[in-house]
Amino acid sequence: MAINVVIAGPRGKMGSEAVKMVEKETEFRLVACIDRKHGGKTLQEVVPHFSIDVPIYEDAETCFNENNEVDVLVDLTVPEAGYQHTKIALAHHVRPVVGTTGFSESQIEELSSISNSQNVGCLIAPNFAIGAVLMMKFAKMAATYFPDVDIIEKHHDNKLDAPSGTAIKTAELIRETRTAKKQGHPNEKETLPGARGADIDGIKIHSVRLPGLVAHQEVIFGSDGQTLTIKHDSMDRASFMEGVKLGINKVMEERRLIYGLENIL
């Protein structure tokens, strides 16, 4: 039986890739889209090159009320909309697969509580690229032996949050195996504030925002006489869709919130 999917943000760069992926997968069926500017229209009216024609709803509440057989919501929008869409989806027993970064810890805790109480699976992933998730897992392994580390993340100049959710998640995984420490010279001074980047337990995170980039990250470890760099590059947003596909299938089996694709690989 096909999994019925609703996609929020079908006009966006990530959302349009998700529509293409669902079009190609025989086990998925797109039943509706959510778009705050085009409620009442159809997908082909708004984006003519898509072969699937489904209704567009301005808000998630109306969408789920009128489509009572929805299985999964794929949300690749922005933090404010993604948070509200996820809450509404869980209330309607629709399983969210969310690629929006920028949620606060309290928001994730709240969504986790709702997911658990409703017995509805939910996946929130800072990055859906399988290679990026492996980069994070390898970085966690390396931190056992290399406690001095900087993270450099690079994204397109329209990204709203900095540092990226991937960089924050990488630092969180690293500190699971690394003792917190201050890196660099003990009397180090920034002559320009922010020059050394953001700081999580002594891990420095540097954000680059430039046109031409998609999503890139380097985790650089240093030790006496050597460095180790673990790097991942997404040159095209199609790189995220294998993870979205995996997430859709996984939330159908779950009854709780999962944060991070690495927890289902």
Four-CA torsion 133, 137, 140, 142, nearest 10 degrees: -120
Could you confirm whether 159 is annotated as catalytic?
yes
Whether 206 is catalytic: no
What is the CA 18 to chain-centroid distance, rounded?
A: 13
Q: Sign of torsion, CA 2 99 43 90?
A: positive
**DSSP class per residue in 7-66:** EE-TTSHHHHHHHHHHHH-TTEEEEEEE-TT-TTSBHHHHSTT-S---BEESSHHHHHHH
Of 155, 206, 232, 250, the catalytic one is 155
Residue of 87, 137, 156, 159 marked catalytic? 159
What residues does 231 pair with on adjacent strands? 218
Helices 130-143 and 165-174 meet at what angle, rounded to 10?
30
- Say if residues 154 and 166 touch (Cβ distance below 8 Å): no
Cite the active site residues: 155, 159
